[in-house]
Amino acid sequence: MDTIRVSPTSGSTAVAGMIAGRMRESRYVELEAADAGAVNEAIKAVAIARGYLKLDGIDIVVVPSFVEVGIDERKRSSLRLVLEARSQSQLW
Amino acid sequence: MDTIRVSPTSGSTAVAGMIAGRMRESRYVELEAADAGAVNEAIKAVAIARGYLKLDGIDIVVVPSFVEVGIDERKRSSLRLVLEARSQSQLW
């Protein structure tokens, strides 16, 4: 499944809608965020998507890691956010 | 346990050290981040702390939600990031 690239102007509710759709389908989503504004937008989107998925009984956990993007001298590190589902029953 | 308030200038490695210490002790940490720079710093800190905790066999998952902070007209929403441990054996 393709990684969703989040930018500072992606719109957290739009990203939340995409996250919710994919979580329902495959219980797994990968986001990539290259700067502070994008990371903020991505994390807000997850907080919103958790609300959308409540009735489906799906909760989301985020596992962040660094990833190198670009080539040669233009390499820089970006954040990869892996989203995984856990059933809400595991919360208790 | 007290919430760690992260700011854009907290320093992600310093926050990562705090996170790692508390995760070893109690397997649970709460972060609060009020703006984009703080959210970015907090998520980078978690990515770094995951490396620190690898030898302890502890992995971290992040559960983000919104929280209202401040009083009266000065209320605004901030992000709460609950960090929970999962043992690395659960990853496979």
Question: pLDDT tens across B70-88, in order?
Answer: 767 777 789 999 999 986 5
Chain B: residue nearest A80 by CA? B47
Output the pLDDT for position B90: 47
Tokens of A6: 């989040």
pLDDT tens digit at each of 92 positions of chain A: 699 999 999 999 999 999 999 999 999 999 999 999 999 999 999 999 999 999 999 999 999 999 987 767 777 789 999 999 986 554 43
Measured between beta carbons, which residues in chain B are less than 8 angstroms from residue A36? 8, 36-37, 39-40
Output the pLDDT for position B67: 94
Output the pLDDT for position A14: 97
A77: left (phi over 0), alpha (psi -120 to 50) or beta: beta
B15-65 per-position pLDDT tens digit: 999 999 999 999 999 999 999 999 999 999 999 999 999 999 999 999 999
The answer to whether B47 contacts A84, with C-beta atoms less than 8 Å apart, is no
Helix (H, G, I), strand (E, B), or coil: what is residue A27? coil
- Exposed/middle/buried for residue B92 (C-beta within 10 Å: 0-12, 13-18, 19+): exposed
Helix or strand holding residue B14 (H, E): helix B12-26
- Please report, as a single letter, which amino acid is at residue A87: S
Give exposure, B3-28, as e/b (b: 16+ Cβ within 10 Å).
ebebebebebeebbebbbebbeeeee
What distance in Å separates residue B11's CA from the closest CA in chain A? 14
Helix (H, G, I), strand (E, B), or coil: what is residue B6? strand
Q: Report the complex ipTM.
A: 0.90
Confidence of residue B92 (pLDDT cuts 50, 70, 90): very low
What distance in Å separates residue B37's CA from the closest CA in chain A? 6
